[in-house]
Amino acid sequence: MKMRIIGFMLEFFMLFCLSGVAGAYQALWNVQFNTSSNSTQSGAAVWGSAGDHWNLFAEGGSHLLGPAVNGDPYLHATIGGPTSVINQPFNAFSNTQYAALMSGYFYYNGGGGTTVLTGFFPNTPVQVVFYSQSPYGGGTSVAYQVNGSSASFTGPMNQYLSSFSSPYNYVTVSGYTDSGGAVNLSYVCYQANSNGCIYLNGFQIKGSSGYSQSISWATYPSNLPVGKNQYFNALATSGLAVSYGVTTPATCYISGNYVYATAVGTCTILASQAGDNNTYFPAQNTAIPGLNMTVRRRRGMSKRKALA
């Protein structure tokens, strides 16, 4: 009885550990809009460092979004709304290091648009810098939201500025990813002029992203006599340590990498990997193949005693 109580306590502790939330690794992704491949921004803007990669998009639709720094995870971006990319090579930024970023813009031919990004950790913070300046955009103002967060406004846009100044040609917005790890960026016209309203030169986003991982069993028991124990082991493709728990405390418990049989019946062991503070998503719980193993009577043990 004492061993079973200890086993139940161990199981409770392990399942508590398995319920933890993966840490948040902050990566950076940069996007600019331009139809010319010779107009790719390089390095930092409001955020970033020298040598940072920028994704150059010439149209809407679905895109693979590369990170600013090699080795960080990729995202998927879907840019929607009635849009067109326009190049304006001569603007207030033409003689600055940000000329490539600010010379082209996404123009939304209507009251608003959206960009959906997927590949983040669920329910984690994100921050976005939106760049908005055009020679035709003077006086306009746009409301930006991240997954329905409180709107932040650019403007009234000042088309004569040659350096970044919030809120006149950029704005920073904070929010959270949803339960599926997606971010919806929305742009709504707040104040228009005769030329339209929404001019989006690009954006930068900081968030927690990661690679997927899976778990496989390396060593596992298929059946085990009551009163005996056996070693088991599972491996994660990430190489991170795997945690274990049982869902059938009436028949077995675990300690470390050993399972102990306490009564005849079904024993189910779960393996889990909760992710880390770098690049890996949590792995899904994986049960012993066949969902269970059979705990059987020892030779010479009566059925009544085995079920006790």
Q: Is the pTM of this model over 0.75?
A: no
For position 242, what pLDDT does the model report?
92
Tell me the pLDDT tens digit for each residue of 34-93: 988 888 999 999 999 999 999 999 888 899 999 998 878 889 999 886 678 888 878 899
Tell me the pLDDT tens digit for each residue of 135-172: 888 899 999 999 999 888 888 999 999 999 999 999 99
- Asked whether residue 15 carries a pLDDT value surpassing 60, the answer given is no
Amino acid at 289: P
- Asked whether residue 283 carries a pLDDT value surpassing 90, the answer given is no
> pLDDT band at 25, cuts 50/70/90?
low
| Sheet order of strands, 243-246 included | 243-246, 269-273, 283-287
Chain centroid to CA 51: how far? 24
Q: Is 228 helix (H, G, I), strand (E, B) or coil?
A: coil
112-118 and 198-200 as β-strands: parallel, antiparallel, unpaired? unpaired
For residues 217 and 286, give the distance between their C-alpha atoms in angstroms, rounded to a whole number: 9
Number of neighbours of residue 21 by Cβ within 10 angstroms: 12
What percentage of the chain carries pLDDT values higher than 90? 38
> Of 155, 200, 148, which Cα lies nearest the Cα of 174?
148
Mean pLDDT of all residues in the chain? 81
Q: Where do runs of H (alpha helix) occur along the chain?
A: 2-18, 99-103, 303-306
For position 11, what pLDDT does the model report?
37
> Of 286, 144, 162, 308, which Cα lies nearest the Cα of 215?
286
For residues 272 and 22, give the distance between their C-alpha atoms in angstroms, rounded to a whole number: 12
Tell me the pLDDT tens digit for each residue of 184-238: 999 988 888 888 888 899 999 998 776 777 888 988 887 888 888 999 999 998 8
Domains of the chain, earliest start first? 2-21+213-306 (2.60.40.1080), 26-208 (2.60.120.430)
Amino acid at 131: Y
| Sheet order of strands, 258-261 included | 229-231, 258-261, 252-255
> What are the distances in angstroms from CA 269 to CA 1, 109, 122, 136, 258?
21, 56, 26, 64, 11
Number of neighbours of residue 226 by Cβ within 10 angstroms: 21
For residues 190 and 151, give the distance between their C-alpha atoms in angstroms, rounded to a whole number: 10
For position 30, what pLDDT does the model report?
97
Q: Is 266 helix (H, G, I), strand (E, B) or coil?
A: strand
For residues 100 and 305, give the distance between their C-alpha atoms in angstroms, rounded to a whole number: 80
Q: Is 3 helix (H, G, I), strand (E, B) or coil?
A: helix
